[in-house]
Amino acid sequence: MLNRRSLTSRLLAAFAGLLVALSPLQAFAFSRVKDLVDVQGIRDNMLVGYGLVVGLNGTGDSLRNAPFTEQSLQTMLERLGVNTRGETMQTKNVAAVMVTANLHAFAGQGTRIDVTVSALGDAKSLQGGTLLVTPLFGADSNIYALAQGPIAVGGFVAQGQAATVTRGVPTSGRISNGAIVEREISFQLAGAASLKLSLRNPDLTTATRIADAVNRYIGLNIAETSDPSTVQLAVPATYPKGVIGLLSDVEQLNVDPDLPAKVIIDEQSGVIVMGADVHISTVAIAQGNLTIRVSETPQVSQPTAFSQTGTTQTVQRTQIQIDDGKGNKMAVLNDGVSLQKLVDGLNALGVGPRDIISILQAIKAAGALQADIEVIG
């Protein structure tokens, strides 16, 4: 009796699991709030500097073609007590470079950040080079970091008498933790009484859903949508851990973002990306191209055997084929057609990506495409 009951329970459990697996589920593309917004004031700042890379194995700048490298080298040597003014230098082991970095938000003094080094002159490779001390400036012309260290280059160049092989970009490299922050950018987050969340993809529906999710979670109306790209938060005075605790909790909330119907077209590569909400009204589509193919097949004409008067000649034979697409049919797409049906209909016509671009633009011009077309490239 126990075995029968156990077997019956297992069968019922398996049957229930099968029903759950076969039941239709509504799909939602939930995303965390921290993946949808940025907090205004918490941002990176770009830094840039000019420096010299030394230690190159004859792959640096030619000083004759890069006078700025020669001037920088002379200035650096003068600071070290070496006078080279009026002398002719022919070294190819030095290269002038631009150094760039991102100063992260709340990066404290003494924090290390990564830097990118790119050749400025006609250097062939930065492999094996070392960046000398380079100050990195912000947009306000103040020095925020100092960079120095050996450069890691992913590419290389090999050259012989008759051939050259280049892989990657040998004139650009990175220095991991190659810069030390010398100046902090002050931002008082803990004492803020209100915050602004900036949507990375501005949308009024998404902003409203974020505000509603925050208000439901907190239990108070502290979030308000001011425009499609901004959600304002009022920090409750009695909230545990203040602003930091509020942001930590809000970032983990799940929201279903809404996206506008849009068709992205890259004419250079022929890539077409359509959103799931792209719909069209009733429209008839026919596609056909006029193709003319001309083939030349020369033939040799020879006289009969033992002929005394004939000569061998080449006779031109031209064959012309015309394909005007008479076999192509017109397809009718009904009102409210979805993305899947649109793609299936165009594929049934044997339409390639290049022709699909023209068809979509024609449908949009006719007012039947309920989406925006954005052409890139």
pLDDT score for 161: 65
pTM for this prediction? 0.66
The Cα–Cα gap between 177 and 175 comes to 6
pLDDT score for 286: 63
Asked whether the beta carbons of 252 and 32 are under 8 A apart, the reply is yes
| Grouped pLDDT means (10 residues each) for the chain, 377 residues | 49 43 49 91 92 92 87 88 80 94 91 95 91 95 96 78 74 94 85 88 92 92 92 89 88 89 78 76 62 59 67 68 53 56 68 74 79 79
- Contacts of the segment 71-79: beta carbons below 8 A, 24+ positions apart: 72/96, 76/52, 76/132
The Cα–Cα gap between 24 and 93 comes to 68
DSSP secondary structure letters along 30-51: -EEGGGTEEETT---EEEEEEE
Nearest to 285 by CA among 362, 210, 194: 362
Q: Residue 85 is which amino acid?
A: R
pLDDT score for 349: 64
| Burial (CB count <10 Å: 0-12, 13-18, 19+), residue 43 | middle
Q: Which tokens go with 141? A: 């012309």
- List beta partners, residue 223: 233
The Cα–Cα gap between 92 and 95 comes to 8
CA terminus-to-terminus distance, the chain: 73
pLDDT score for 174: 94
SS3 367: coil
Q: Residue 119 is which amino acid?
A: A
pLDDT score for 3: 52
pLDDT score for 6: 53
The Cα–Cα gap between 283 and 306 comes to 71
Nearest to 281 by CA among 241, 232, 334: 334
281 φ/ψ angles, rounded to the nearest 5 degrees: -85, 180
DSSP secondary structure letters along 276-291: TT-EE-SEEE-----E
